[in-house]
Structure 1
Amino acid sequence: MELSKVSIETLVKRVNEEMMLSDIDPYSFVSPSAYDTAWLAMVPADSNQMEPMFKDCLDWVLNNQTKQGFWGESDAHDNPTLESLPATLACVVALNKWNTGRENAEKGLAFIRANAEKLLGGYRHQFPPWFAIVFPGMIELARKTGIHLDFPNHLQEFLMDVFSERQRILESETVGGPYPPLLSYLEALPSFYSMNEEDISMNLKRDGSLFQSPSATARAFMATGNKDCLAYLQSLVKTFANNGVPPTYPMDEELVKLGLVNQLQRLGLAEHFTERIEDILSQVYKNYRKELPSEKSCSVTSVATQLQKDSLAFRLLRMHGYSVSPWSLCWFLNDHEILDHIEKNHEFFASIMLNVHRATDIIFPGEYELEEARSFSRKVLEKVVTKGTGSDNDPFTNSSNFQRMIEHELSLPWVARLDHLEHRAWIEENEMNALWPGKTSFHRLSSAKNEMLVQLAAADFEFRQLIYKKETAELKSWCLKWGLSNMGFGRERTMYCYFAISSCLSLPYDSDIRMVAAKSAILITVADDFFDMKGSLDELNILTDAVRRWDGRGLSGHSKVIFDALDNLVKETAEKHLQQQGTDTTCFLKQIWVETFDSWLVEAKWSKTGSLPSTDEYLRNGMTSIAAHTVVLPAACFLKSSSRNADISLAADYETVTKLTMLIPRLLNDIQSYQKEMEDGKMNYVMLYMKENPDAGIDDSIAFIRDLLDNKRKELMKHALMDGLSGLPMESRQLHLSCMKVFQMFFNSSNRYDSNTEMIQDIQKAIYVPLDVGTCKPQVPLPSQPGSKKEFQTIGSHQLVQRHFKYQNKRIVRYQASLPIARRGHANTFIGASFSLSFA
């Protein structure tokens, strides 16, 4: 089906109707537990021991076996997980007990015989404690009820390992680590283990449950006939009817809702559900204000769940402008027992520490406790990466995926990532839907609902790709029309500019913001290179004077091309704004460009005359010459909530958030460009700092600037996200933050903007290459190092890159990039790239 805005809106409407009702039922978002449902199906009726008490649960078991023959967890590709072994055995026992579903049971046993070795093999000698208790218990229960398992001989050694691990746990009388108490696994404990009715009664919760576990409570009721247990089970079945019972009941409903909001954000769907997200977060915030950090539950068995909730709440609330204390997240730092507990069980806590680390991305000045939490979580994650395996109770079924996610988190800071590419990664790793750890597995978003969200996210992403391809074509035509593509010097960065603007945040499909910002960035690159590389001081003076007067008469050559393109951009932008919002921004736009050209002329004079400004003089001018505000302020005028920008006329009036957005890119650029600029005889803050501090070397200067950058980034984050610090609306402030992230991406560890090859793969993934979800899997990897002889073919003045993909198992997609070459000596330098997709 051809993607269109209407089809996206139809999917959004469907999701709203089926998932985002005014009163969200959190339990509808959590996958049911086949294991726990089977245990309720085993409970006999009081009046007739020959019939099940909860027939709905038995019917659920009959109707929810997978095509492969198993019950229980599967990953995003429908592959069974380790949990499927005990879950399938429990379901087979339930069917056998009531002499029903014989074909289902046989199919389940066949699955176990065929897949046990593969599933057990990945955990040899390292079986999770929960599995070492539950799986042997289900084997013994199956044999006790007359089920012949007939495990092949070569599996006996694996089974002996599992039973030996269980014996060790039983002898120590504790599961250990982060797991719940041994009694919470009551249903799986062997017959020789002493079952003390008094112990069971003492550990029942007020709701009649045994550790809020449906399976353990079902076994407790069958053993004791306790009326409170029965009431709990009856309430459970009444609540969930034919949908299967959850792995825990009751749940932390706020945590489920936070997990849903997190999934919407990470899939790139937040813009479609802003009202529901705001409803959820406002309620969470009300409750957070009532709860003091000192009141947090510090039980070691509940630390994982509490930290998962606190890390999600902290990040999401701060990102949406709520004032949240760092101690709402960092409370665990004051408890050395908990810190030691997390480090000792670092594999179990890997996913929780990943969320803690992500939460500390949103840090403001002076929040040292968040720095400490970030350092601690990073240490734990590095330990997991070094060991090279995922958690033994891993929320992710493919530990290599989880490893990559951790490595991505640690190697590339959030401020250097672009939303569009992050959304793509999350869509493609769509099994990453774990909420928090449970007794035998992670609580996960319902597979049906998650699939619906991923379907919408994929459609939205692919529709954006269509829009982005169309807009890149328009940009190229604009550059050709005004002569910006063939200047004969400097950098041609049409694709780079548009990619960065379109990928930095989710803007409306028909947004003028992308085009205004991209055209501004393209023109800035061309004009800046003219001032740096080509123009004489006389030419630059004449061009700058023409811009001040806004009169291009008498200009010729490159100066005329630049002025004419600039004049067209300002007129076009002002006309669009006048039509949309009724305000004439011509004077404001001209003022910004005059300031920018003036700053370039100052730098050119410094460079060509050998003058050395002070660091203060340099930064005052350099904040303007980097031209970040020249991109972001005209674009912000098109935000629905922005109108104040049109009244700004002088740099002195710029908001703090704007000044920080101007300063940070300058410092980032200077750290990565000082060597090249030193060779070109240009000024740079790195060298000027050394000049004013004779005892400082290059490393000292860079270290000083990095510290300054760190502080300014935190300050910008605070001004961008918190209300009351700026007169700009939230949308405008977030656009400023996204602009800063673009520069951080360009200059994070190198000068990617000046590289002719380093950005190509990101551009491909953002705009041209189809999503790799489910059936859409590339058969040949993308070129990771453009330029290698194996991947490129030179044809005249171009090099062609071709790759083939299977798409939906039928169609072949050919990806082709045509890369113009500018020959400088013996090196081939790519100065521009055009991309196309064709279907065979």
Structure 2
Amino acid sequence: MLLHILSRPWQRNQDLLALGVMDFSTSQIVCQQELQHLESWVKDSRLNQLPFARQKLAYFYLSAAGTMLPGELSDARILWAKNGALTTVVDDFFDVGGSKKELENLTTLVEMWDKHKEIQYYSKHVEIVFSAIYNSVNQLGAKASAVQGRNVTKHFVDIWQDLMRNMMTEVEWRETGYIPTPEEYMENAVVTFALGPIVLPALYFIGPKITEYTVRDTEYNKLFRLMSTCGRLLNDVQTYEREYIDGKINSVSLLVHHSGGSMTILEAREELQEPIDTCRRDLLRLVLKEDSVMPRLCKELFWKMCKTCYFFYYKGDAFSSPEEKVGAVDAVIHEPLQLPMNLLPGLDLS
């Protein structure tokens, strides 16, 4: 094919197009295989047996396949999709699926981790959720440790433990009727938006070595908080009505509440646009910064997740919709590339 391009300049555009079509088709086959593997994992982990859980595996895999393209990043895509599916299950368990005793039991199991056999499962649902988290984190942690040349599994566990603790804080607020300040809410909500288990472990799979010093640096924490704040606020603005019906607080309802009646829902949603834009700009500025502790490839992963949040929440709650982004999933993963008819004649795919 390359010889054709060099020897027949008049066919260069069509030959380059043919190469692009072939590359897309090859990538699509890889995507299909990876998604099939992930679907088998859902069944093997019994996550499909949880009646309360939204099944969002395809959406998370779409965001992984659309942002981490090279073939060698398969492990990163798999982790991104698995942990995305798991965080959705956990979020649904805390919101609607679990009793307080079940949630306390799950949190304790995650806190105990390798000593979890010392306590009993409160229910079958707790067993399924914890087993899926425990097995996946240990398997993915072992892979990441091999890539990094040091044990990073404990960091994976720490991320999940932080998520559970902060989710239990929201449960306590709900149980006691406590209404936090907007600042208290956001301090907790940047963690419970649950991007940590998706993005932070994936950093270990995309190439650069990440030292303990890098993870403890303020830049690492700032990247995470800017990404999560932007995503959390985008989500709150678009999901306010559903969460209000479910009795949940978010940044919109808190602004209205603490205004003493001087602010409407519409005004609160409009006011949140400024911090959303500010977080997005600050995140991009930090990603593009030259003198940096975090490798550029790693910083770009935070930016890619930020764009994923815009993809799902910019004009509504497309993530919760069972149909909204199905067309995008099909276009990237399932459907052959459709070319305009005027480009097809004479296209050499051999």
TM superposition score normalised by structure 2: 0.90
Q: Distance in 2 between matches of 1:18 and 1:640?
A: 34
Query: What residue number does 2:33 align with?
Result: 470
CA positional deviation for 1:648: 3.0
Query: What residue number does 1:708 align with?
Result: 275
Is 1:723 the counterpart of 2:286? The answer is no
- Is the CA contact 2:256–2:265 (under 8 Å) kept in the aligned structure 1? yes
CA positional deviation for 1:653: 7.3
CA positional deviation for 1:642: 3.7
Q: Distance in 1 between matches of 2:309 and 2:342?
A: 32
Query: What residue number does 1:552 align with?
Result: 116
Q: Distance in 1 between matches of 2:27 and 2:264?
A: 47
| Cα deviations by residue, 1:548-572 (Å, 9 ceiling, x for unpaired) | 1114331131111111111111111
Within-5 A mapping of 1:649-798: 654-694=220-260, 695-724=262-291, 726-773=292-339
| Cα deviations by residue, 1:55-104 (Å, 9 ceiling, x for unpaired) | xxxxxxxxxxxxxxxxxxxxxxxxxxxxxxxxxxxxxxxxxxxxxxxxxx
Within-5 A mapping of 1:294-305: none
- Among candidates 186, 194, 201, match of residue 627 of structure 1: 194
SS in structure 2 of the partner of residue 485 of structure 1: helix
- Among candidates 514, 518, 535, match of residue 81 of structure 2: 518
Is 1:618 the counterpart of 2:185? The answer is yes
CA positional deviation for 1:645: 6.3
- Among candidates 539, 543, 548, match of residue 106 of structure 2: 543
Query: What residue number does 1:587 align with?
Result: 154
Quickly say closer, same or farther: Cα 1:649–1:593, change in 2 above 3 A: farther
- Is the CA contact 1:614–1:688 (under 8 Å) kept in the aligned structure 2? yes
Query: What residue number does 1:506 align with?
Result: 69
- Is the CA contact 1:504–1:741 (under 8 Å) kept in the aligned structure 2? no
Q: Distance in 2 between matches of 1:711 and 1:671?
A: 15
- Is the CA contact 1:690–1:698 (under 8 Å) kept in the aligned structure 2? yes
Within-5 A mapping of 1:191-340: none
- Is the CA contact 2:148–2:209 (under 8 Å) kept in the aligned structure 1? no
- Among candidates 128, 133, 149, match of residue 561 of structure 1: 128
SS in structure 1 of the partner of residue 71 of structure 2: coil
- Among candidates 130, 140, 158, match of residue 573 of structure 1: 140
Query: What residue number does 1:146 align with?
Result: none
2:298 partner amino acid:
S
The size of the alignment, in residue pairs, is 339
Q: Whose relative contact order is higher, 1 or 2, with alpha carbons under 8 Å and at least 6 apart?
A: 2
2:33 partner amino acid:
K
Is 1:648 the counterpart of 2:212? The answer is no
Between 666-675 and 695-704, the greater mean CA deviation after superposition: 695-704
1:513 partner amino acid:
A
SS in structure 1 of the partner of residue 49 of structure 2: coil
CA positional deviation for 1:448: 3.1
1:648 partner amino acid:
V
SS in structure 2 of the partner of residue 770 of structure 1: coil
| Cα deviations by residue, 1:578-599 (Å, 9 ceiling, x for unpaired) | 2223111111111101011111
Q: Distance in 1 between matches of 2:259 and 2:196?
A: 30
- Is the CA contact 1:472–1:498 (under 8 Å) kept in the aligned structure 2? yes
| Cα deviations by residue, 1:670-705 (Å, 9 ceiling, x for unpaired) | 001111111111111001011222311112111111
Q: Distance in 1 between matches of 2:194 and 2:209?
A: 20
Q: Distance in 1 between matches of 2:62 and 2:190?
A: 23
Query: What residue number does 1:194 align with?
Result: none
| Cα deviations by residue, 1:284-323 (Å, 9 ceiling, x for unpaired) | xxxxxxxxxxxxxxxxxxxxxxxxxxxxxxxxxxxxxxxx
CA positional deviation for 1:607: 2.0
SS in structure 2 of the partner of residue 655 of structure 1: helix
| Cα deviations by residue, 1:196-228 (Å, 9 ceiling, x for unpaired) | xxxxxxxxxxxxxxxxxxxxxxxxxxxxxxxxx
Quickly say closer, same or farther: Cα 1:704–1:545, change in 2 above 3 A: same
CA positional deviation for 1:611: 1.3
1:698 partner amino acid:
I
Q: Point out the structure with the larger helix share.
A: 2
Quickly say closer, same or farther: Cα 1:447–1:681, change in 2 above 3 A: farther
Q: Distance in 2 between matches of 1:508 and 1:718?
A: 28
Q: Distance in 2 between matches of 1:627 and 1:547?
A: 15
Q: Distance in 2 between matches of 1:521 and 1:607?
A: 25
Quickly say closer, same or farther: Cα 1:447–1:770, change in 2 above 3 A: farther
Within-5 A mapping of 1:338-377: none
SS in structure 2 of the partner of residue 489 of structure 1: coil
Q: Distance in 2 between matches of 1:557 and 1:511?
A: 32
Query: What residue number does 2:175 align with?
Result: 608
Q: Distance in 1 between matches of 2:64 and 2:342?
A: 27
Is 1:459 the counterpart of 2:22? The answer is yes
- Is the CA contact 2:64–2:77 (under 8 Å) kept in the aligned structure 1? yes
Quickly say closer, same or farther: Cα 1:667–1:458, change in 2 above 3 A: same
CA positional deviation for 1:454: 1.8
2:125 partner amino acid:
H
Q: Distance in 2 between matches of 1:758 and 1:690?
A: 29
Quickly say closer, same or farther: Cα 1:587–1:675, change in 2 above 3 A: same
Quickly say closer, same or farther: Cα 1:646–1:532, change in 2 above 3 A: farther
Q: Distance in 2 between matches of 1:511 and 1:700?
A: 44
2:195 partner amino acid:
A
CA positional deviation for 1:775: 6.0
Query: What residue number does 1:486 align with?
Result: 49
- Is the CA contact 1:671–1:702 (under 8 Å) kept in the aligned structure 2? yes
2:228 partner amino acid:
M
- Is the CA contact 2:219–2:293 (under 8 Å) kept in the aligned structure 1? no
Q: Distance in 2 between matches of 1:771 and 1:600?
A: 42
CA positional deviation for 1:721: 2.1
TM superposition score normalised by structure 1: 0.39
Structure 2 segments unaligned to the other structure (5+ residues): none
Query: What residue number does 1:387 align with?
Result: none
| Cα deviations by residue, 1:388-444 (Å, 9 ceiling, x for unpaired) | xxxxxxxxxxxxxxxxxxxxxxxxxxxxxxxxxxxxxxxxxxxxxxxxxxxxxxxxx
2:97 partner amino acid:
K
Quickly say closer, same or farther: Cα 1:593–1:455, change in 2 above 3 A: same
- Is the CA contact 1:588–1:646 (under 8 Å) kept in the aligned structure 2? no
RMSD: 2.4
- Is the CA contact 2:76–2:202 (under 8 Å) kept in the aligned structure 1? yes
When Rg is computed on C-alpha atoms for both structures, the one with the higher figure is 1
CA positional deviation for 1:490: 2.8
SS in structure 2 of the partner of residue 641 of structure 1: coil
- Is the CA contact 1:746–1:753 (under 8 Å) kept in the aligned structure 2? yes
2:107 partner amino acid:
T
Q: Distance in 2 between matches of 1:608 and 1:504?
A: 39
Q: Distance in 2 between matches of 1:733 and 1:591?
A: 21
Q: Distance in 1 between matches of 2:94 and 2:10?
A: 57
Q: Distance in 2 between matches of 1:593 and 1:706?
A: 30
- Is the CA contact 2:214–2:293 (under 8 Å) kept in the aligned structure 1? no
Q: Distance in 2 between matches of 1:499 and 1:626?
A: 19
CA positional deviation for 1:618: 0.3
1:632 partner amino acid:
V
Q: Distance in 2 between matches of 1:723 and 1:749?
A: 33
1:552 partner amino acid:
H
- Is the CA contact 1:491–1:526 (under 8 Å) kept in the aligned structure 2? yes
CA positional deviation for 1:510: 5.2
Q: Percent identity?
A: 28
Quickly say closer, same or farther: Cα 1:466–1:645, change in 2 above 3 A: farther
